[in-house]
Amino acid sequence: MPEAKDVKIGEWIIFNREPYKLKRKEIVTAGTHMHSKLKFIMQGLFSTGEKSAVYGHHDKVDIAELEMKSGPVISIAGNKCQIMDSRSYEVVDVEMGPDLAVEEGKVVMFVLYNGRHLIIGEAR
C-alpha cells in the first residue's frame, strides 16, 4: 500500500469501501504548530458528486484494482443495457446512470470492480 504523499492525480483509491478517482490534492494545515496534511478531492465511481478526505503524508492508502474494458452496446432495456466485451466477446449486463445517453451500436468504455460493471463513457 502506498503512502498518501505518493498517490498521483488520476489514480483510483478505495475510500469507504468504494473506488474513487483522485481529482485534486491540496496541502492543508490546521494551526501554526501542526504538521501539514493532504486533502484529497475525489470523484466516486458508483456515486455522484465530489468527496474530500484528509490524510497524513505517511498514511497508507488502498489502491483500487479496476479492470477497464470497451465494447459495443448490444441492447438497451430500461436502465440496463447489454455490452459485448471487445476482447473476450462475453456479453455483460450493465446498469446505466441517469445522466448517461447510450445508443445501441455505440462503443463504450466500462469498468469491472468487485463483480459490478459500470459505463464510464464513450470509447474514443
The pLDDT tens digits for 36-59 are: 899 999 998 878 789 999 999 999
79 falls within a domain: yes
- 49 and 74 inside one domain: no
State the residue range of the domain holding 100: 67-122
80 falls within a domain: yes
The pLDDT tens digits for 63-120 are: 998 888 999 999 998 888 999 999 999 999 987 766 777 889 999 988 888 888 888 8
pLDDT of residue 55: 93
CA pair distance 17, 21, nearest whole angstrom: 13
pLDDT of residue 37: 92
80 contacts 90 by C-beta, under 8 angstroms:
no
Return the CATH number at 39.
2.30.30.30
Type of residue found at 99: D
Return the CATH number at 71.
2.40.50.140
pLDDT of residue 82: 94
Please tell me the pTM assigned to this model. 0.74
pLDDT of residue 79: 80
Distances (CA, A) of 48 to 15, 39, 84, 88: 14, 19, 26, 30
Type of residue found at 118: L
Asked if residue 15 has pLDDT above 70, the reply is yes
